Amino acid sequence: MNIFKAIAEKFSIPLPWGVFKNSAFTNYALDYQTFLQEAYNNPFIYKALNEIITDAKTVKVGVFRDNKGKMEYVENHKINKWLAKPNMELNGKDMIEYYILYLYLGGGCLLYKTKGIMEKQIYIYSPDSFDIQRDDFFNISQVKVGNTYIPKEDWNSFKVCKAVNAEDKIAGKSQEFRPILKSLALVGDMSNLAMIHQNRQLKNFGKRSGIISYKGVMTPDKKEEMKKTVKAMGTGEDTGGLAFLPADTIDYKATDQTSVEMDWLNSLQYMEEIISYSMGVPVQLISSRSSTYNNMAEAKKKIYIDTIIPLIQDYCEDLTAFFSDDLQEGFKIWYDTSEIQELKEDVMTVAKGVREALKGVATVNEIRDTLTKKTGIELKSINKELGDKVLVTSSDMFLDDLNVELEPLPQENEEESTKE
């Protein structure tokens, strides 16, 4: 018996997924393995998934604290060390990758942390390596990892992460996982089959399938001779020769369609677009068709805003719940996108918009404070002599220079009394 397995069974210690090859899988596991293989065999799904993972791994994740509405990174927190190197065989960026893979392809995963105050090992389990059972009230009644049943007192060392499943009887409480990509199963199959069909035609050097009919009586010898002739010219390499067959006694009927008839290329492009949009990946990022630099830049911004940031937020919220016993009040696992080049241009756009919107109605220091809140870039107040003056919209002159008094805005209670 494997010594690690023996120790685990004796002391009920769950080991990382992959130690046991004969884990007790649920019925879903078979679907997961099949879906996993089919997804990886599909170049459109693989490329879109790789784009999501690559971009997600550029986001800084760690412990942050809320300082008057601004999230500040906590440099020396012990959890940052655990996230940087979850265990001996996994780094923090790869843990993000596995989290995304398991949710997209399997619908969920399981986080496990070893016991300890200053040092912990973090493991992430695939959806087919554990089993969660629930009672009639949908509360967890049993946790099984591999072949090991986890004692109830150790359940707080685990955290089930799952994608939203509309089939849950109670939101969030289900032992069934629904892969994020499950809605693409049919489209994935269609594109896979189209490529398999084209691959077979190419291997056959474009020769088509069909039926040859012979008018009249055909002797066994004649039949065998004709089969050899047609087969020799119809399959394999260097099959461009001619076969002389009597037209009045031979009839041929194709049983398949050509690539042109099937509109193969347009169909693949259409399926590529469905897959990319369904996965939240702009098609420009995965398509071989040419795109301008501006289109690519906008596509990069879009994938971060629409897909990557929401995904990382879910990851951070799962980790915050997972590490709740190790986080002080006001601390949480969060993210920082300030170093992502594709999003930096948006900061300049925001800054310009804020400045234009507030010129003439807000002081320099008020504008700087608004920019700090909007962009996350700290702009300190300048001296009162200049900082407390209002800029004129049409120029960089101060309002005081025009000898114009600015009427105060009505207070909220004054507005309400006016309405009454």
- pLDDT tens digits, one per residue of 215-264: 767 778 877 877 776 666 555 554 444 455 555 566 666 655 555 555 66
Same domain? 345 vs 387: yes
pLDDT digits (tens, 9 = 90+) for 334-380: 999 988 988 876 667 777 777 777 777 788 788 778 877 776 667 77
**Which of 44-53, 239-248, 279-288 is the most confident on average?**
44-53
Same domain? 143 vs 226: no
Q: Which of 289, 315, 337 is the last residue of a domain?
A: 337
Total domains in the chain come to 3
Examine residue 390 and state whether it is found in any structural domain, yes or no. yes
Same domain? 236 vs 291: no
Residues 6+ apart with CB under 8 A from 339: 60
Same domain? 129 vs 186: yes
Q: Which domain holds residue 399?
A: 341-415
∠ Cα 377 381 384 (to 5°):
165
Give the separation between CA 62 and CA 125, rounded to whole angstroms.
Answer: 21
Give the separation between CA 331 and CA 66, rounded to whole angstroms.
Answer: 7
Same domain? 151 vs 238: no
Examine residue 374 and state whether it is found in any structural domain, yes or no. yes
> What DSSP designation does 304 have?
I
Please give the single-letter amino acid code of residue 390: V
Among 39-43, 49-53, 150-154, 198-202, name the one with the lowest average pLDDT.
198-202
pLDDT digits (tens, 9 = 90+) for 82-131: 999 999 999 999 999 999 999 998 889 999 999 877 789 999 999 889 98
**Beta pairing partners, 132:** 143
Q: Which of 337, 358, 386 is the last residue of a domain?
A: 337
Q: Quick check: 228 and 241 in contact, CB under 8 A?
A: no
Examine residue 177 and state whether it is found in any structural domain, yes or no. yes
Examine residue 378 and state whether it is found in any structural domain, yes or no. yes
Tokens 């906008």, located at residue = 298
Residues 6+ apart with CB under 8 A from 370: 354, 358, 362
Sign of CA dihedral 165, 169, 170, 175: negative
Same domain? 64 vs 162: yes
Examine residue 420 and state whether it is found in any structural domain, yes or no. no
Same domain? 99 vs 221: no
- Residue 2 backbone dihedrals phi, psi, to 5 degrees: -55, 125
Same domain? 309 vs 380: no
- pTM for this model (two decimals): 0.66
Q: What end-to-end distance do the CA atoms of the chain give, in Å? A: 82
